[in-house]
Amino acid sequence: MSLSLDPEIAEALALMADATAGATAGTARPEVGDIEGRRAFWEPIIGAASNAQPMPADVTMTDHTVTAADGAQITVRWYVKDGATPGSAVVFFHGGGYIFGHIDLFDGPVARYVAASGVPMLSVEYRRAPEFPFPTPLEDAYAALRWLHDRAPELGVDRDRIAVMGDSAGGGVAAALAILTRERGGPKIAHQILIMPMLDDRPTTPDPHIEPYALWSYDDSRTAWPALLGEAAGGPGVPPTAAPARLEDATGLPPAYIEVGQLDVFRDEDLAYAAKLSRAGVPVEFHLHPGAPHEFDSIAFKADVAQRATADRVRVLTSL
């Protein structure tokens, strides 16, 4: 028996196609290397998926400015549930293959995590490739983490209970940041929550079981990694802070929660990364969701598999 799409996800995909038909009219699936085409194709889809869910009324958002390593000013957005007890916090990195997406598009998902868990989050407007290739996105992430550590007392945050979290490319940023902070001796990260993370820049032979259902496709990855890494992508000299799958020694990394869909092009690299962390003695909780493609939780948020995934994430957040 071959792999198949979860029926509830299939139904949601059909509804999403109808809902975004106007926004993406005349926009064909972009060719390999077409950055602007992917921005035009994907951002309306992400926006429609986010807007389909209600925005919590009990979460307050406040923007701040962080100075990055090169002196640039980047925006971070602090989300707090009204009346929540101070304690842990999460630095969140949005998805988008390093080439599209911004914090406004992900206001809904972040606010819903905060409302459900009571844990405040700092969402980071890290700069995108190819305009700002590696290491700029990672250095922006590091600057945001340092900013939260420095201001932890005034924000009611325990420095020992700060986690990092991200989905897709944002999951890759979170994983890379955990490696970077180990190399630099801090700031401390209590947990890494990696949602369908994008981890490996090396060419992948397309899996015929996945290709028919791939929302984020192999061609998307073939476009995104060179945008981030240039000609180095796929070569021998890529560091694990750029592509965490390159990591050889995972000793001392923070505990990890990792999940991916069985129909996600990142499935194999995420399985391998979870095993690598486990072999190094890092506590790992791993979930492989049957019948689920990339970003299944946004597109089919009412599906049972998405509800289970969201409940698991909230459980981990509340345990920080």
- The model's pLDDT over 265-308, given as tens digits with 9 standing for 90+, comes to 999 999 999 999 999 999 999 999 999 999 999 989 999 999 99
Residue range 14-61, pLDDT digits in tens? 887 765 555 555 556 899 999 999 999 889 888 888 888 889 999 999
Q: Among the options 88, 168, 221, 298, which is catalytic?
A: 168
User: Is residue 149 among the annotated active site residues?
Assistant: no
Q: Are 114 and 59 in contact (CB under 8 A)?
A: yes
Q: Are 115 and 147 in contact (CB under 8 A)?
A: no
- Mean pLDDT, residues 240-256: 99
Contacts of 280 (CB under 8 A, 6+ apart): 249, 250, 251, 252, 253
Amino acid sitting at position 159 = R
Would you state the pLDDT for residue 277? 99
Residue range 15-28, pLDDT digits in tens? 877 655 555 555 56
Q: Mean pLDDT for the chain? A: 95
Q: Among the options 191, 221, 294, 297, which is catalytic?
A: 294
User: Is residue 168 among the annotated active site residues?
Assistant: yes
Q: Among the options 264, 287, 297, 298, which is catalytic?
A: 264
Q: Are 147 and 123 in contact (CB under 8 A)?
A: no
Q: Are 239 and 294 in contact (CB under 8 A)?
A: no
Q: What is the DSSP string of 236-264?
A: TT--TTTSGGG-S--TTPPPEEEEEETT-
Residue range 137-164, pLDDT digits in tens? 999 999 999 999 999 999 999 999 999 9
Q: What's the CATH architecture for 7-26+34-319?
A: 3-Layer(aba) Sandwich (3.40)
Calpha distance 29→37 (Å, rounded): 8
Would you state the pLDDT for residue 300? 92
Domain range list for the chain: 7-26+34-319
User: Is residue 312 among the annotated active site residues?
Assistant: no
Would you state the pLDDT for residue 236? 96
Residues belonging to the chain? 320
